[in-house]
């Protein structure tokens, strides 16, 4: 690590001087020329306000005003070529020979081929893409009530699997691009926001079971476009960062020559738990009846729910089952949540300057008390043309997020689920004198939901400053300095009424700061020689990350009014610091002949301080080829086919995320005191902590991908089909070591994983005329995951429910396979794998996994005059979910008063001939919690969003100087079709790479919002 720093420290200091030298160049003065014109639509002659007018070969660009007019001065000499662009219209190039009025008429385009797509360190028109890139318009998703924009993308991009935890706003999002490639390292994609690599890793250190998401600190309303890079040739330019896909986010910017435009977006709404997704528990009488039935079936004479006057072994009865009360703890937990979001922005520019300033406020309550999320954000993007050759710009985003947090479930004291769902319903919540009662070593739900015990505040800044220099019309230099800084402060205070605070209260404060600074330079050369187009990009990147934490804990406070740690009788503190550095060099060479045959070669070299001195550097090449078949003579005259392109790519990417910064080094730790003399005080000491691995190196994923793009009838029907094969080698894996080493395990490169699949996207413009349009988008994806090689089976999760096993997919469940319940006896019958006549741990087997066979989204957009309607479904088929809540709630009465019984327990076998999957209430039938009947089908079809809007006619709004006013109502999660018996089929544990494990996750709420979009 020190070698990398030393070798590039001089480069960092030389760069500012070099940039200042370039800025000091004076360009030769030329006579100013005046250009004036108007841009209109050829169809209805209407003005196109906001169209881009650019002098080809320069940085001089302005936008038309509301009347479609433009005018500006330029130092260029006639003749000049104007490039005129407007979203949804064909781009035109116009030769201007002298000072005359320029009348530009644009033709409306139905094709997507001229869409500009952001790729690594460049932009390309879609028709020229060699790689696989999905582009998403955030305007279609920003009203979905998710705190983070990545959760809003679910179902919008083929090959991108997303499961959100919307019931806990501001929490982490499970997202995978073309499967999972790692066991111990991260499987999350790389986020690049305005050129800054942004971490999506949570900074929380106080024990909770739901991780927070730093991506939630970003206001979705500030985003202009989102691209997801998926195949090797698209992501290899990011080398070690791109193995899990890349999400590129471009935020909004003003336009040169555009007058100030103000936009206001506001919405208010309510959310609640769907009635059919709330856990159904037994009543007090039903619970008592089942417990008595279990005791009778077991041959016991001690029937607990009997007359209170009946004493057995000195213990009176609890009363008959029908005498038991029912207490509803869930009403303390569930609530109708309020949501609100307000955004305001102003953008515009002169012929030399453009700007975007935006501010936003969002607040979402969780449907579970007391959780909630609140964000305030501020955004400034500014670009300044120093002259016709040099542009200086900056992007700045700052967000402050506040979270009321809790421990929803997942064991431990203070969890909402245990205090509400898991306590039998016949047990009272309060004593007769009003004192909150605790049962089964669980907290009182009224206490937990009446007080915020956990809360956090994050201050998150993402900034980038760049310099662009057009050395010549064909050679361009770009330099940028970026920073991702997050200061995360979290607190907890458990008062004396809670189990954690029983000894005078307990408080903790933890402050973590993470900063990633990055400096990049690129030099790009593009030229066209006859029918040959050549592009060359070279660049380098230097990145450093530092994470620091200081925390303090106090116990035994004077009373519950004192919550500062300085007031505690016992105080402890701790701290840590970690850092890593990454140095990279990269290049891309692109070529096309006659806009028919395309080739692209990318290479990147990354050096990381995380790896051993022998293997710090990784090399990641990729190559892609494409052929626009429709440009061939035999298809040029086929008017129905406007696009037919074949694509192939092959390349290698790497992964280093998810391991410690010092994973390769032999480490020692302090805090091990020793005594020099018997009875004497201990002196400071150290002890071995970690075994060194000097050969630890990059995890590598090689990907082959093929694709077809088809556009028919001027893209009225468009199809994109991709197949891929990803193979990961040298997986970063923690494996056991012999006890003689003195260490339990160490990180090494051992393991291989494959992902194979396909993606299909179909877009159709079904109807389009003057008053009415209807378009449909559909995508479906399949990924087959398999562990090809590991040294031994690796257990995951409690009770070893998940097992990594060679030849099986990641996240496979290792269970006893219940075949059926014997209709004659009511006993559960399990598969005897060993054929030895008894059921033991040797009979556990891989029963299923969490990977869906298919998943995707289906969207319809309809417009009639000023009315718009959007109908968006997401779906998943063939995935399985472990229903841990059901496992805990169907214990057959064996735990008596120590655990709730769900209403589904009433379906148990009671009479000969009965067909059911729930066995007779006996200890033997309920002694194996790792039972396959709790692994359920998680397939679903969800109406993700239904939006109805109305845009007031311009003839009305222009009277009040309003460009646009749209009113809308939006419903989310209005319908859900699934056979899953738990709260939500998209639930996951929220721990590391584990998915498809439902334990105490709130269901996705059903929500309705009312809002407006206003442009001035």
Upstream peptide bond of 370 is cis (omega within 30 degrees of 0): yes
**Is residue 142 classed as helix, strand or coil in its secondary structure?**
coil
Q: Are 740 and 693 in contact (CB under 8 A)?
A: no
Residue 83 belongs to a domain: yes
> What b/e sequence results for 486-520 when a residue is b if at least 16 CB atoms lie within 10 Å of its CB, and e otherwise?
bbbebbbbbbebbbbbeebbbbbbbbbbbbbbbbb
What are the angstrom distances between the C-alpha of 1006 and each of 269, 365, 527, 660, 981?
11, 13, 54, 40, 17
Q: Please give the pLDDT value at position 882.
A: 93
Q: Please give the pLDDT value at position 734.
A: 85
Q: Please give the pLDDT value at position 677.
A: 72
Q: Please give the pLDDT value at position 26.
A: 38
Q: What is the CA radius of gyration of the chain?
A: 31
Query: With 80 as the cut, is the pLDDT of residue 990 above it?
Result: no
Query: With 70 as the cut, is the pLDDT of residue 172 above it?
Result: yes
What string of H, E and C letters represents the secondary structure of 787-806? Answer: EEECCCCEEECHHHCEEECC
Q: Please give the pLDDT value at position 740.
A: 81
Q: Are 351 and 384 in contact (CB under 8 A)?
A: no
Residue 652 belongs to a domain: no
71: Cβ contacts below 8 Å, ≥ 6 apart: 34, 35, 36, 37
Considering its fold, how many domains does the chain have in total?
A: 2
Query: With 60 as the cut, is the pLDDT of residue 860 above it?
Result: yes
User: Quick one: average pLDDT of 394-406?
Assistant: 94
Q: Please give the pLDDT value at position 19.
A: 42
Residue 63 belongs to a domain: yes
User: Quick one: average pLDDT of 931-960?
Assistant: 93
* Separation of alpha carbons 910 and 905, rounded Å: 11
Among the residue ranges 318-327, 359-368, 493-502, 734-743, the one predicted with the least confidence is: 734-743
Query: With 90 as the cut, is the pLDDT of residue 650 above it?
Result: yes
pTM recorded for the entire structure: 0.87
Residue 757 belongs to a domain: no
The two most distant CA atoms of the chain are separated, in Å, by 110
Query: With 60 as the cut, is the pLDDT of residue 3 above it?
Result: no
Place of tokens 């006859």: 530
Q: Which of 325, 348, 376 is the last residue of a domain?
A: 325
* 935-937 and 880-883 beta bridge pairing: antiparallel
Residues 695-720: pLDDT tens digits?
898 999 999 999 999 999 988 999 99
Query: With 90 as the cut, is the pLDDT of residue 110 above it?
Result: no
Residue 74 belongs to a domain: yes
Residue 53 belongs to a domain: yes
User: Quick one: average pLDDT of 463-486?
Assistant: 95
Q: Are 399 and 377 in contact (CB under 8 A)?
A: yes
Q: Are 303 and 296 in contact (CB under 8 A)?
A: yes
Residues 188-204: pLDDT tens digits?
899 999 999 998 888 98
Q: Are 247 and 152 in contact (CB under 8 A)?
A: no
**Residue 221 pLDDT grade (very low, low, confident, very high; cuts 50, 70, 90):** very high
> What b/e sequence results for 781-803 when a residue is b if at least 16 CB atoms lie within 10 Å of its CB, and e otherwise?
bbbebbbeebeeebebbeebbbb
**Is residue 25 classed as helix, strand or coil in its secondary structure?**
coil
Q: Are 688 and 744 in contact (CB under 8 A)?
A: no
Q: With residue 882 as reference, give the H or E element that holds it.
A: strand 880-883
Among the residue ranges 67-81, 454-468, 611-625, 830-844, the one predicted with the least confidence is: 67-81
Q: Is 898 exposed, middle or buried (0-12, 13-18, 19+ CB in 10 A)?
A: middle
The beta-strand segments (E) located in 594-676 are: 597-608, 617-628, 641-655, 667-669, 674-675
| β-sheet with 802-804: strand ranges across | 794-796, 802-804, 812-815, 845-849
What percentage of the chain's residues is helix, strand, coil (to nearest 5)? 15, 50, 40
- Chain centroid offset of residue 652 CA: 24
Token readout for 606 is 């990354």
Query: With 80 as the cut, is the pLDDT of residue 353 above it?
Result: yes
Beta-carbon-side half-sphere exposure of residue 494 (alpha carbons within 13 Å): 22
User: For residue 88, what are the domain limits?
Assistant: 34-106
Q: Please give the pLDDT value at position 1015.
A: 92
End-to-end CA distance of the chain: 53
Q: Are 986 and 953 in contact (CB under 8 A)?
A: no
Q: Please give the pLDDT value at position 480.
A: 95
CATH code: domain of residue 66: 2.60.40.1120
User: Quick one: average pLDDT of 359-383?
Assistant: 95
Q: Which of 106, 127, 148 is the last residue of a domain?
A: 106
Q: Which of 991, 992, 993, 973 is nearest to 983 (CA)?
A: 973
Q: Please give the pLDDT value at position 499.
A: 93
Token readout for 38 is 């108007």
Among the residue ranges 543-547, 793-797, 925-929, the one predicted with the least confidence is: 793-797
Token readout for 583 is 């140095």
Residue 826, Ramachandran bin (φ over 0: left; ψ between -120 and 50: alpha; else beta): left
Residue 996 belongs to a domain: no
Residue 216 belongs to a domain: no
Q: Which of 294, 325, 356 is the last residue of a domain?
A: 325
Query: With 70 as the cut, is the pLDDT of residue 668 above it?
Result: yes
> What b/e sequence results for 465-475 when a residue is b if at least 16 CB atoms lie within 10 Å of its CB, and e otherwise?
bbbbbbeeeee
**Is residue 237 classed as helix, strand or coil in its secondary structure?**
helix
In percent, the amount of the chain with pLDDT more than 70 equals 95
């Amino acid at each position: 690590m020190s070698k990398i720093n030393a070798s590039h420290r001089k480069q960092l200091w030389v760069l500012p001087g070099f940039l200042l030298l370039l800025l000091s160049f004076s360009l030769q003065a030329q006579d100013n020329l005046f250009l004036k014109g108007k841009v209109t639509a050829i169809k209805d002659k209407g003005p196109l306000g906001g169209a881009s007018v650019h002098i080809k070969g320069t940085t001089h660009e302005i936008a038309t005003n509301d009347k479609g007019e433009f005018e500006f001065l330029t130092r260029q000499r006639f003749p000049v070529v104007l490039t005129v662009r407007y979203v949804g219209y064909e781009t035109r190039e116009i030769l201007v020979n002298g000072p005359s009025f320029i009348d530009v008429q644009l033709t409306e385009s139905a094709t997507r081929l001229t869409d500009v797509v952001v790729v690594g360190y460049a932009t390309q028109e879609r028709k020229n893409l060699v790689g696989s890139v999905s582009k998403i318009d955030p305007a279609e998703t920003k009203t979905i009530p998710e705190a983070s924009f990545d959760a809003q993308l679910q179902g919008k991009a083929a090959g991108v699997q997303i499961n959100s935890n919307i019931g806990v706003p501001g929490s982490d999002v499970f997202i995978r691009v073309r499967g999972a490639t790692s066991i111990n390292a991260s499987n999350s994609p790389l986020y690049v926001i305005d050129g800054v690599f942004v971490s999506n890793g949570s900074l929380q250190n106080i024990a909770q079971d739901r991780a927070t998401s730093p991506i939630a600190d970003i206001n979705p309303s500030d985003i202009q476009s989102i691209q997801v890079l998926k195949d090797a040739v698209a992501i290899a330019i990011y080398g070690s960062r791109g193995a899990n896909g890349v999400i590129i986010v471009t935020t909004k910017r003003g336009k040169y020559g555009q007058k100030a435009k103000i936009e206001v977006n506001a919405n208010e709404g309510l959310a609640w738990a769907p009635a059919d997704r709330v856990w159904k528990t037994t009543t007090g009488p039903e619970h008592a009846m089942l417990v008595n039935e279990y005791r009778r079936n077991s041959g016991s004479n001690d029937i607990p729910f009997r007359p209170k006057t009946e004493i057995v072994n000195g213990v009176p009865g609890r009363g008959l089952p029908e005498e038991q009360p029912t207490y509803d703890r869930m009403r303390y937990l569930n609530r109708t949540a309020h949501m609100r979001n307000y955004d305001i922005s102003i953008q515009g520019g002169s012929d030399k300057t453009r700007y975007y300033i935006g501010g936003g406020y969002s607040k979402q309550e969780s449907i579970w008390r007391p959780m909630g999320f609140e964000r305030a954000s501020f955004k400034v993007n500014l670009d300044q043309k120093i002259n016709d050759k040099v542009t200086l710009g900056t992007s700045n985003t700052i967000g402050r997020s506040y979270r009321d947090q809790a421990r929803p479930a997942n064991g431990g004291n203070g969890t909402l689920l245990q205090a509400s769902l898991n306590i039998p319903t016949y047990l009272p919540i309060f004593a007769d004198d009003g004192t909150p009662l605790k049962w089964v070593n669980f907290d009182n739900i009224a206490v937990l939901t009446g007080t915020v015990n956990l809360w956090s505040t994050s201050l998150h800044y993402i900034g980038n400053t760049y310099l662009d220099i057009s050395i010549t019309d064909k050679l361009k230099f770009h330099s940028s300095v970026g920073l991702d800084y997050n200061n995360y402060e979290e607190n907890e205070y458990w008062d004396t009424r809670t189990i954690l605070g029983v000894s005078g209260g307990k408080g903790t404060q933890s402050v973590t700061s993470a900063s990633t600074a990055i400096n990049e330079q690129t030099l790009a050369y593009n030229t066209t020689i006859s029918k040959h187009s050549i592009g060359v990009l070279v660049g380098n990147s230097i990145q450093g990350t530092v994470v620091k934490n200081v925390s303090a804990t106090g116990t035994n406070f004077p009373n519950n009014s004192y919550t500062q740690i300085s007031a505690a009788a016992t105080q402890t503190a701790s701290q840590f610091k970690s850092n890593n550095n990454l140095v990279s060099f990269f290049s891309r060479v692109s070529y096309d002949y006659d806009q028919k045959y395309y080739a692209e070669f990318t290479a990147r070299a990354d050096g990381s301080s995380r790896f051993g001195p022998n293997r710090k550097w990784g090399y990641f090449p990729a190559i892609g080829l494409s052929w626009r078949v429709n440009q061939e003579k035999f298809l040029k005259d086929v008017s129905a086919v406007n696009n037919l392109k074949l694509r192939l790519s092959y390349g290698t990417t790497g992964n280093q995320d998810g391991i410690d910064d010092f994973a390769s080094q032999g480490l020692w730790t302090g805090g091990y005191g020793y005594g020099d003399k018997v009875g004497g005080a201990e002196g400071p000491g150290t002890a071995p902590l970690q075994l060194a691995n000097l050969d630890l190196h990059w995890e590598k994923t090689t990907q082959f991908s093929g694709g077809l793009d088809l556009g028919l009838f001027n893209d009225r029907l468009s199809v994109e089909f991709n197949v891929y094969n990803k193979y990961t080698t040298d997986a970063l894996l923690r494996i056991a070591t012999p006890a003689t080493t003195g260490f339990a395990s160490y990180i090494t490169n051992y393991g291989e994983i494959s992902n194979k699949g396909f993606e299909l996207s179909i877009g159709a413009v079904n109807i389009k005329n003057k008053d009415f349009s209807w378009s449909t988008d559909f995508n479906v994806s399949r990924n087959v995951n398999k562990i090809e090689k590991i040294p031994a089976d690796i257990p995951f999760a409690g009770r070893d429910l998940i097992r990594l096993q060679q030849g099986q997919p990641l996240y496979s469940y290792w269970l006893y396979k219940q075949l059926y319940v014997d209709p004659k006896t009511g006993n559960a019958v399990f598969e005897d794998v060993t054929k030895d006549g008894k059921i033991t741990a040797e009979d556990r087997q891989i029963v299923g996994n969490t990977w869906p066979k298919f998943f995707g989204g289906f969207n319809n957009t309809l417009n009639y005059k000023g009315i718009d309607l959007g109908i968006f479904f997401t779906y998943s088929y063939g995935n399985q979910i472990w229903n841990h809540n059901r496992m805990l709630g169907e214990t057959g009465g064996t735990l008596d008063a120590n655990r709730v019984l769900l209403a589904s327990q009433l379906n148990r076998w009671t009479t000969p001939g009965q067909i059911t999957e729930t066995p007779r209430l006996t200890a033997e039938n309920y002694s194996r919690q790792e039972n396959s009947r709790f692994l359920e089908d998680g397939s679903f079809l969800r109406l993700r969003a239904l939006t109805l809007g109305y845009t007031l006619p311009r003839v009305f709004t222009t009277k009040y100087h309003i460009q646009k006013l749209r009113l809308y109502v939006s419903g989310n999660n209005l319908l859900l079709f699934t056979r899953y018996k738990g709260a939500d089929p998209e639930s996951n544990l929220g721990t590391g790479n584990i998915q498809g494990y439902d334990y105490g996750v709130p269901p996705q709420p059903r929500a309705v919002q009312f809002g407006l979009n206003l442009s001035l």
